[in-house]
């Protein structure tokens, strides 16, 4: 695969909700092997931007390129089939199902050639989910544990293991460190670094600069639906971004 240039390019994206302009002419990109921190206060347009990238909503205008081809997603499935995996803090998992079932949800492994009825291959999923979880150094009691019983950080870990297992190319994490303890947040940052080590790019959304700064290669700041900053980390500082973020 040709990994020159950009993995994602969103050009001149506009999105309105009724009379509210959620995004105004936003240009946003993600490189290969890049961790992009997407920052901005409540209502800045962060979730709207990544929902457009993950096929949730179409933009009102603008273009999306993924792996250098223009894409017109009609559903989240379209984006996922291309390797764009989105992890939401709450909705990422089905709490009353096991870790194993959550890893394979909607992509269950079936026994080959069982006629019309397809049976799920539980032993194979068990085996494979253990392998997937080993990839993120997540020590769980068993893949049969209910997601309900996991901490917020562990849930993020399972979602990331799932993204690695299915060989996603881009993982989008919307506020993954919200409501997590310092220790659990640190673990999530480690998962994000591990994604990068495996050649998977990510977008890490947060309103907290201090969560994003340690891992991000590039930092993009949105405010009131417009992009007001886009820096490689080596070209900026915590001070500069803080000043940008406190502008009215």
In the structure encoding, which two tokens stand for residue 1, read together? 């695969």
Residues 144-203 that bind Mg ion (CB under 5 A): none
Q: Is 59 helix (H, G, I), strand (E, B) or coil?
A: coil
Minimum CB–partner distance for residue 81 and Mg ion (Å): 24
Name which of ligand ATP, Mg ion, none residue 44 binds, using a CB cut-off of 5 to 8 Å depending on partner kind: ligand ATP
Query: Whats the size of the chain, residue-wise?
Result: 248
Residues 162-221 that bind ligand ATP (CB under 6 A): 207
Contact 29, 65 (CB under 8 A): no
As separate numbers, helices (DSSP H) first and strands (DSSP E) second, the chain gives 8, 10
Name which of ligand ATP, Mg ion, none residue 40 binds, using a CB cut-off of 5 to 8 Å depending on partner kind: ligand ATP
What angle (nearest 5°) sits at the alpha carbon of residue 114, between those of residues 113 and 115?
A: 95
> Does residue 38 interact with ligand ATP by CB under 6 A?
no
> Does residue 102 interact with Mg ion by CB under 5 A?
no
Please choose, out of 42-50, 108-116, 188-196, 236-244, the segment that lies near ligand ATP by the rule CB under 6 A.
Answer: 42-50
Minimum CB–partner distance for residue 20 and ligand ATP (Å): 5
Residues 46-65 that bind Mg ion (CB under 5 A): 47
- Residue showing tokens 């997601």: 147
Q: Please state, in angstroms and rounded to a whole number, the distance separating the CA atoms of residues 37 and 29.
A: 11
> Does residue 17 interact with ligand ATP by CB under 6 A?
yes
Asked whether the CA dihedral 150, 153, 157, 163 is positive or negative, the reply is positive
Minimum CB–partner distance for residue 106 and ligand ATP (Å): 23
Minimum CB–partner distance for residue 205 and ligand ATP (Å): 7
Minimum CB–partner distance for residue 171 and ligand ATP (Å): 17
Would you report the helix, strand and coil content of the chain in percent, each value rounded to 5? 30, 30, 40
Q: Please state, in angstroms and rounded to a whole number, the distance separating the CA atoms of residues 111 and 115.
A: 10
Name which of Mg ion, ligand ATP, none residue 102 binds, using a CB cut-off of 5 to 8 Å depending on partner kind: none
User: Which residues lie near ligand ATP (CB under 6 A)?
Assistant: 17, 20, 22, 40, 42-48, 207
């Amino acid at each position: 695969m040709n990994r020159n240039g950009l993995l994602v390019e969103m050009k001149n994206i506009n999105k309105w909700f009724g009379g509210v302009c959620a995004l105004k002419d936003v240009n946003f990109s993600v490189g290969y092997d890049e961790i992009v921190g997407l920052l901005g206060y409540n209502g800045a347009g962060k979730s709207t931007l990544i929902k457009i990238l993950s096929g949730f909503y179409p933009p009102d205008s603008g273009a999306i390129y993924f792996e250098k081809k223009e894409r017109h997603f009609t559903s989240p499935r379209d984006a996922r089939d291309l390797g764009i995996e989105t992890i939401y803090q709450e909705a990422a998992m089905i709490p009353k199902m096991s870790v194993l079932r959550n890893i394979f949800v909607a992509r269950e492994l079936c026994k080959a050639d069982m006629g019309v009825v397809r049976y799920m291959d539980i032993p194979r999923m068990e085996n494979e989910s253990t392998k997937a979880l080993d990839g993120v150094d997540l020590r769980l009691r068993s893949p049969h544990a209910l997601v309900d019983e996991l901490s917020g950080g562990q849930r993020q870990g399972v979602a990331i293991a799932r993204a690695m297992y299915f060989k996603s190319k881009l993982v989008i994490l919307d506020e993954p460190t919200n409501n997590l303890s310092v220790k659990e947040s640190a673990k999530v940052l480690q998962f994000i670094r591990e994604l990068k080590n495996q050649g998977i790019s990510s977008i890490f959304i947060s309103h907290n600069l201090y969560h994003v700064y340690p891992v991000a290669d590039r930092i993009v700041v949105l405010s009131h639906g417009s992009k007001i900053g886009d820096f490689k980390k080596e070209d900026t500082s915590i001070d500069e971004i803080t000043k940008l973020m406190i502008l009215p």
